[in-house]
Amino acid sequence: MEPFHPREWQGHLFGTVEKNLEDRNVIALEAPTGSGKTSFILYLSFMSGKKLIYVTRTHNEFTRLYEDNIKYFDLPVIYLYGKSTLCPLKERWYDSDEESQKNVCKGCILKDKIMDIDMHIKMPPDDYYNKIISLSIENIRNDINNNLIKRDSKGNLIQTGNGNITAYCPYYSVRSSMKNATVVAMTYNYLLNPSIRFNIFHGTEGEESMDINDYYIIFDEAHNIDSVIENFGRSISEKTVNGSINELVDTFPLEEYKCHERIGANLLLEKLEKDIEGTKSGDDLKLFRFSDDVKSRLGDINYIQIFSEKFQAINDNRPIKERRRNYLETVYNFLYDAQRLENGDIYSQKFYPERGDPYKRLRIMYYNTSEYLKFLKNKPVLFMSGTMPSADHISKIWNFENMLYIRVNDIFYNTGGVKKYSIVKGFSTLGRYRDNTEIWSDILKKYMEFIIKTYSNSINSVLVAVPSYKILYGDHDKRIPGIADYLPDELRPFSVFENKKLTYSLIIKKALSDKLIIFSVHGGRLLEGIQITKNNRSLISDVIIAGLPLMPLDDYRKNKIKYLEKTLSGENIYSLLYYEYALIKIKQAAGRSTRSPDDVANIYLCDDRFDSKYWRDNLLNN
């Protein structure tokens, strides 16, 4: 473990931040990427002795916390993952949706079997948890071989004698260790979603609860909060509704269930399926309204609940390998929430799975972020990011009026390296040409020419950020090309493209040996957490912002702006949501290039719209 030497800003701001948190105030801390926000928070805990709840957008962002902790502080840390990730008995899961499988632990003998979790681990959290899952699986096999446990006729594990079994549940082992950790790391949904928060902090029967008031609450990459909360609502697809109809017909045939409830449930589901099939769903979110046929039958959703509960009882008695997803419960929960919806609306959209054809789905989308943040009032909370939303945004959209807002770069010069922004003219917006393949292709070719030229002149790797996956990959079904189609073959070995299977470790390994072109998408995983460094210096020297990443002004965005303007008595919400969204995405991408105060990077803004007062004031003149 190395001694920690606070940087200038960390030492000077320590007392101010600690005092305000002790006074239970809200703090917004904007410090450039690479300036040491994570180490500052750990330093705060180390020196004050205060426990932390450290909240991130994704599990990938646990890596920074882990690396800084083992390097300098060695605080006991627990990294919270979900049941579906940590369960060693994958056969109990018929899909990975934890929300639809509340009873997955019911009857499992491992639930109460826990092991001590090493909170001073010397390997990345993902690797460590894979290790304890593998060990649990190995112990299960040994216990079966030693006749301590066996499988019953349904496939459940049961204990066969009085001997002590060695198998354990990794998930509940992690949960039981949380109360003893100095730092509890979790993703946003565990803290911001009310039902999940209640479960985590109040625990199950016999489990000691955690008091949230005992912790400093730290939101890392806090610019993501709005988008995470927007997506808390339930969703259903045409496949889900069709599955619920089949479930009803197959499990409860009319020949055996000649009752008003059975007919009512069937009619409602059929009308709902027809509504979804009739929507003109596209890539954008489109406001959805139930037909009069569905509205007239929404009072019958309790019939769906009745058969959902019957199905679950049947499901629980099936052998594990024959259990199926309860589609009826999914549809019931969606309709229940939809009937009580106040802070949002229902929207339709096409969904593109990794495998298979796209399908239509309905999503409950929320407007008012502050409803999910009000539990943080009068608690010690620190929101931090390299690209924090503005003070106006936090005050009006999040409803935290009395807060300490600290911009580190305004106080201490060059805390996160130097970014040299420049506007590259001659690039028209792609959006207006999405239906004109010829012009679309010409613009993409021009982008690729600039990318190749920049790469040939760059000192280190080049990061390219585009507004959408469609621009990156195109749409092969519609024969629309993407930037990837114009990459020369000789550069493909030195290029990586963002996708769900791409790992940080693979990119870092390649970047340490070769100069790369890294193609990414605004809002994607790479631009949120990638750190490519050698000797604490960034291995990205140039960033190309290929197009202005404005949020799509679809029905949802327009209605959210109207809702908040009405709620906030005519405040100008448009700029707080529309332009600020893009500004944060651009700064987030640019921040990948500076990981230390000594880094210098070129940031190329390739879109003619950047040549306006707003963008010059916020990027070039800062």
Which CATH number does the domain housing residue 354 bear?
1.10.275.30
Q: How far apart are CA 204 and CA 592, in angstroms?
A: 41
How far does CA 183 lie from the centroid of its chain?
20
* Overall average pLDDT of the 444-451 stretch: 94
Confirm if 41 and 27 have CB atoms less than 8 A apart. Answer: no
The residue range of the domain holding 111 is 81-177
Q: How far apart are CA 369 and CA 29, in angstroms?
A: 19
Q: Which tens digits make up the pLDDT trace of 536-547?
A: 788 999 999 999
Q: Would you say residue 227 lies in a domain?
A: no
pLDDT value for 544: 96
Q: Would you say residue 156 lies in a domain?
A: yes
Confirm if 482 and 471 have CB atoms less than 8 A apart. Answer: yes
pLDDT value for 136: 94
Residues 308 and 321 occupy one common structural domain: yes
Residues 458 and 519 occupy one common structural domain: yes
For residue 388, give Cα distances in angstroms to 346, 394, 395, 408, 599: 29, 9, 13, 11, 21
Q: Would you say residue 226 lies in a domain?
A: no
* Overall average pLDDT of the 563-573 stretch: 78
As a whole-number percent, the residues of the chain with pLDDT over 70 amount to 96
Strand partners, 419: 601
Q: Would you say residue 489 lies in a domain?
A: yes
- Among 183-187, 475-479, 551-555, 577-581, the minimum mean pLDDT is found in 475-479
Residues 244 and 310 occupy one common structural domain: yes
Among 202, 212, 188, 198, which Cα is nearest to 51's? 212
Residues 488 and 587 occupy one common structural domain: yes
* Overall average pLDDT of the 46-75 stretch: 93
* Overall average pLDDT of the 265-289 stretch: 92
Residues 488 and 568 occupy one common structural domain: yes
Residues 301 and 400 occupy one common structural domain: no
Residues 462 and 561 occupy one common structural domain: yes
Q: How far apart are CA 531 and CA 56, in angstroms?
A: 16
pLDDT value for 570: 60
- The reported pTM is 0.85
Residue 270: pLDDT above 90?
Answer: yes
* Overall average pLDDT of the 460-475 stretch: 89
Residue 207: pLDDT above 60?
Answer: no
* Overall average pLDDT of the 60-84 stretch: 92
Q: Which tens digits make up the pLDDT trace of 132-178?
A: 999 999 999 999 998 888 888 888 888 887 778 899 999 999 999 99
* Overall average pLDDT of the 326-354 stretch: 91
Backbone angles phi, psi at 419, to 5 degrees: -115, 120
Query: In this structure, how many other beta carbons lie within 10 angstroms of the beta carbon of residue 574?
Result: 16
Q: Would you say residue 270 lies in a domain?
A: yes
Residue 431: pLDDT above 70?
Answer: no
Q: Which residue has the higher pLDDT, 127 or 96?
A: 127
pLDDT value for 11: 94
Residues 168 and 241 occupy one common structural domain: no
pLDDT value for 598: 84
Backbone dihedral region of 361: left (phi > 0), alpha (psi from -120 to 50 degrees) or beta? Answer: beta
Q: How far apart are CA 310 and CA 304, in angstroms?
A: 10
Domains: count for the chain: 4
Q: Would you say residue 375 lies in a domain?
A: no
Query: DSSP letter string over 62-95?
Result: HHHHHHHIIIII---EEE---HHHH-S-GGG-SS
Burial of 493 (0-12, 13-18, 19+ CB in 10 A): exposed
pLDDT value for 225: 93
Look up the CATH number of the domain holding residue 32: 3.40.50.300
Q: How far apart are CA 66 and CA 600, in angstroms?
A: 26
Q: Which residues are CB-contacts of 535 (< 8 A; sequence separation ≥ 6)?
A: none
pLDDT-based confidence at residue 591 (cuts at 50, 70, 90): confident
Query: In this structure, how many other beta carbons lie within 10 angstroms of the beta carbon of residue 274?
Result: 14
pLDDT value for 435: 67
Average confidence score pLDDT of the chain: 89
pLDDT value for 414: 66
Residues 245 and 348 occupy one common structural domain: yes
Q: Would you say residue 390 lies in a domain?
A: yes
pLDDT value for 284: 86
Residues 36 and 154 occupy one common structural domain: no
pLDDT-based confidence at residue 355 (cuts at 50, 70, 90): low
Residues 205 and 268 occupy one common structural domain: no
Q: Would you say residue 39 lies in a domain?
A: yes
Residue 318: pLDDT above 80?
Answer: yes
Q: Which tens digits make up the pLDDT trace of 360-417?
A: 999 999 999 999 999 999 999 999 998 899 898 999 899 998 899 999 988 887 677 8
Residues 461 and 606 occupy one common structural domain: yes
